[in-house]
Amino acid sequence: MGAATAAVVLVLGATGASAEQGPAPVQSQARAFSVGGMLVSYDSDAVSSRGDDDPQRSFVASADLSKLGVGLSTGALTAEARGHQAQTTVADLKLLTVLQMQNVRTWCNGADGGSAGLDFTRGSLLGKTFAVPASHQELGNSTLIKVELDTVTRDKGSISAKGVVITLLGGNDPARTLTPTEKELGKGLAGLLGAPAKAQNATTVGSLLGALGVSAGAPGDPVLQVTVGAVSCALEDAPAKDEPTTTAVPTTDEDEPVAPATPVTLQTAPTPEVVPYRLGVTG
């Protein structure tokens, strides 16, 4: 079939986080991200390129993550891809006490025009529960750290989804004091990346960015992005290609800069037509 799908359980990627501090455009490059000299890279992707007869699956136990010094507590991670379908699962996602989700599944299916999404059985951010969103949703209400759920994008030949994306945004005044929410989110982000304690104790934007080793960046641009669950599926009716049409492994030096994802755009619902009808209402 020439179909191709790819799934990545955990993607830790820096988006243009230049080693040089300064106002360099953060989308000018992308490279693997490191903290304290630790290159975070997992052999946890699954790529299927020969249709339904080429099921691929990878599995990462939580113990493997802890060995790498990543402060992400999970039950287990799986990545599966087969033909035009792919999914990742995380049994129990705990980002310290900040973000907790259970049975997180990010999936896509290239059949029937393509569909993709995120589901989970329980989610809470800073102790506040949230439900499975109907579509893309942002949490956190911060100009510094953005938590996004269910980011679905599609192009001519594929549909992709990112389950949970935590983005550190640029352009914030370094001297600004972190809000309580940002402080907690910052702790979580630092913990996820195995950052030193000073990052977890940061009280200003500048001290947090410095501890994480990233630049201030331009306003609104992502200077650091962590993705849990990224999948991409070729559409079944798309022209067959010799090479996999999609990948979702932004952990190499050749990665394109990660632009803010655009949720699937829906058409506006129609204006209602007034119809003759008989219904007694409550006056």
Partner 1 sequence: MSGVANHTLPRPPRTRARRTSRAVLVGWASLGVITLLAAILGIGLLVGGAPSPVRPGGGSATLAAPAVDVASLPESTTWTSVDGAPTDPAPEGLTDGRVVHPVRDTVVHDAPDGRPIARMPAKQIGDTWLPVIAQQGSWMQVLLPSRPDASTGWLPAADVESAATPYRIAVHLKSRTLDLFQDGTRLARWTVGIGKPSAPTPTGRTFLLGAFSDDQQKYSPVILPLGTHSPTHDTFGGGPGTVAIHTWPTSDVFGTATSDGCVRVPADALKRLAQVPLGTLVSIDNA
Give 51 or 194: the residue with its C-beta nearer to partner 1. Answer: 51
Q: Which of 111, 197, 240, 259 binds partner 1 (CB under 8 A)?
A: 111
Residue matched to tokens 């243009």: 16
Q: Which of 12, 35, 86, 212 binds partner 1 (CB under 8 A)?
A: 86
Give 57 or 176: the residue with its C-beta nearer to partner 1. Answer: 57
Beta strands in 110-253 (DSSP E): 115-119, 122-125, 128-130, 137-139, 145-154, 158-169, 222-234
Q: Which two tokens stand for residue 220?
A: 């609104």
Give 78 or 225: the residue with its C-beta nearer to partner 1. Answer: 78
**Which backbone phi and psi does 208 adopt, to 5 degrees?**
-70, -45
Cα angle value 24/26/28 (rounded, 5°):
90
| DSSP, res 63 | H
Measured CA to CA, the distance from residue 192 to residue 163 in angstroms comes to 16
Q: Which of 25, 36, 69, 113 binds partner 1 (CB under 8 A)?
A: 113
Give 22 or 280: the residue with its C-beta nearer to partner 1. Answer: 280
Task: Tell whether residue 89 is a contact of partner 1 (CB under 8 A).
Answer: yes
Phi-psi bin for 126: left (phi > 0), alpha (psi -120 to 50), beta? left
Give 8 or 216: the residue with its C-beta nearer to partner 1. Answer: 8
Q: Which residues pair with 12 in a beta bridge?
A: 226
Q: Is the dihedral of CA 20, 22, 24, 25 positive or negative?
A: positive
In the region spanning residues 252 to 271, those forming contacts with partner 1, defined by CB under 8 A, are: 266-271
The closest alpha carbon to 48, from 8, 103, 90, 77, belongs to 8
For helices 205-212 and 180-192, angle between their N-to-C axes, nearest 10 degrees: 0
Task: Tell whether residue 63 is a contact of partner 1 (CB under 8 A).
Answer: no
Measured CA to CA, the distance from residue 41 to residue 234 in angstroms comes to 25
User: CB 77 → partner 1: shortest distance, Å?
Assistant: 9
User: CB 241 → partner 1: shortest distance, Å?
Assistant: 18
Q: Which stretch binds partner 1 (CB under 8 A): 27-35, 127-135, 199-207, 238-246?
A: 127-135
Give 31 or 105: the residue with its C-beta nearer to partner 1. Answer: 105
Task: Tell whether residue 283 is a contact of partner 1 (CB under 8 A).
Answer: yes
Task: Tell whether residue 75 is a contact of partner 1 (CB under 8 A).
Answer: yes
Q: Which stretch binds partner 1 (CB under 8 A): 33-41, 50-58, 171-179, 209-217?
A: 50-58
In the region spanning residues 129 to 188, those forming contacts with partner 1, defined by CB under 8 A, are: 131-137
Give 1 or 32: the residue with its C-beta nearer to partner 1. Answer: 1
User: CB 65 → partner 1: shortest distance, Å?
Assistant: 15
Paired sense of beta strands 158-169 and 115-119, if any: unpaired
In the region spanning residues 24 to 43, those forming contacts with partner 1, defined by CB under 8 A, are: none
Whether the CB-CB separation of 133 and 139 falls below 8 Å is answered with no
The closest alpha carbon to 168, from 106, 117, 210, belongs to 210
What residues make contact with partner 1 under the rule CB under 8 A? 51-53, 55, 57, 75-76, 78, 80, 82-87, 89-92, 102-103, 105, 107, 109, 111-115, 117, 119, 121, 131-137, 266-283
